[in-house]
Amino acid sequence: MADWTGSLRLEVEDKKGKTIPKNVYFQGAFKVMRPIYHDDSGQACYYLLNPGGGYLDGDRYQLEISLKERARLTLTTQSATKIYKTPNQPVYQETEITLKEGSYLEYIPDPLIAYQNARYKQKNIIHMDKSATLLYSDILTPGWSPNGDRFSYDMLQLMNEIYMENELVVYDHIKLNPGSQNMTAIGFMEGYTHLGSMIVVGEQTNSELLDQIYSSIDLNTKEYKIGLSSLHVPGFTVRILANSTQMIENIFAECHRIICRNWFNTTPSFLRKY
């Protein structure tokens, strides 16, 4: 696809234990801040910016993220992704990520908010070495409309393809179409309003880690529903139905904390957004 509304290429590498930019390029309605280092681990953090404040009819965005050997990166957004009405063409965003040997990526965007009559398609394609580690999450809200109706958007579609040594090992596809789906039915939102997904791939994954995450979950609450599933490769997914962004963020933060403690003996940085 040509004529991107915004495009961004970010390539980082490890230099003596510190992750630094090797190549940074952006144009159009996409920008990236200078790297931030929250601690002395050498892990870089980049904030993605949309100067326009939201995605409009027919917008197309492209991201290319590459981590060289042993690079460590946190990638997040400055604020929620807002999708406004799309009367003619849906918004499309494509992200291609390459993770080389021993690299580690945390990709933690803020929630996605689709306004009334919005259509949005997102595709993440990830190529990773078997020794690389990935932590990715996303949160879908019920959207926004002038009269307060929930699920007033037309369509949200999120696809994740993860390849390891050129073999497709994870395929995750969510498509919500309130006009033709009963959003309260079993298999859809089941009476909840927010949907959160986390995908973790890392050869360090073991039964002890999964037990710790499972033990952190309150199984007696009606405030959320949660599922924890192992992958075909070392890794797992977490899916949450809840009624607020904050509830999902709190659960994901606890999962993130357990992962960092077990794998790196560290504590995740607080990604300040205010």
* Tens digits of residue pLDDT in 204-251: 999 999 999 999 999 889 999 999 999 999 999 999 999 999 999 999
Q: Give the range among 102-106, 144-148, 164-168, 241-245 with minimum mean pLDDT.
A: 144-148
Strands, E, within the chain: which ranges?
Answer: 6-15, 18-28, 31-32, 44-49, 60-67, 72-77, 81-83, 91-99, 104-108, 112-114, 119-128, 133-140, 155-164, 167-176, 194-201, 224-230, 235-242
pLDDT score for 207: 95
Nearest to 11 by CA among 3, 139, 19: 19
Helix-strand-coil percent breakdown of the chain, rounded to 5?
A: 10, 45, 45
pLDDT score for 128: 98
Mean pLDDT of 13-40: 94
* pLDDT above 60: residue 265: yes
- Cβ count near 267 (within 10 Å): 12
Eight-class DSSP state of 35: P
φ, ψ dihedrals at 43, nearest 5°: -75, 125
Question: Bridge-partner residues for 170, per DSSP?
Answer: 162
Instruction: For the chain, give the mean pLDDT.
Output: 94
Q: What percentage of the chain has pLDDT greater than the value 70?
A: 98
pLDDT score for 1: 46
Mean pLDDT of 14-25: 97
pLDDT score for 253: 95
Which tens digits make up the pLDDT trace of 124-136? 999 999 999 999 9
CA-based radius of gyration for the chain: 18
Contacts of 264 (CB under 8 A, 6+ apart): 41
pLDDT score for 148: 87
User: Which residue has 């490769």 as its token pair?
Assistant: 233
Contact by Cβ (8 Å): 198, 253: no
Mean pLDDT of 59-85: 96
pLDDT score for 273: 56
Q: How far is CA 254 from CA 47, 73, 82, 262, in A?
A: 22, 19, 26, 12
* pLDDT above 60: residue 172: yes
pLDDT score for 2: 63
* pLDDT above 60: residue 160: yes
Question: Bridge-partner residues for 63, per DSSP?
Answer: 8, 95
* pLDDT above 70: residue 272: no
* pLDDT above 90: residue 116: yes
Nearest to 232 by CA among 167, 137, 175, 173: 167
Mean pLDDT of 174-186: 92
Q: What percentage of the chain has pLDDT greater than the value 90?
A: 87
φ, ψ dihedrals at 82, nearest 5°: -105, 125
* pLDDT above 70: residue 110: yes
Q: Give the range among 47-61, 69-83, 229-243 with minimum mean pLDDT.
A: 47-61
pLDDT score for 52: 77
* pLDDT above 60: residue 165: yes
For the chain, give every domain's residue range.
68-264
SS3 (DSSP) at 209: helix
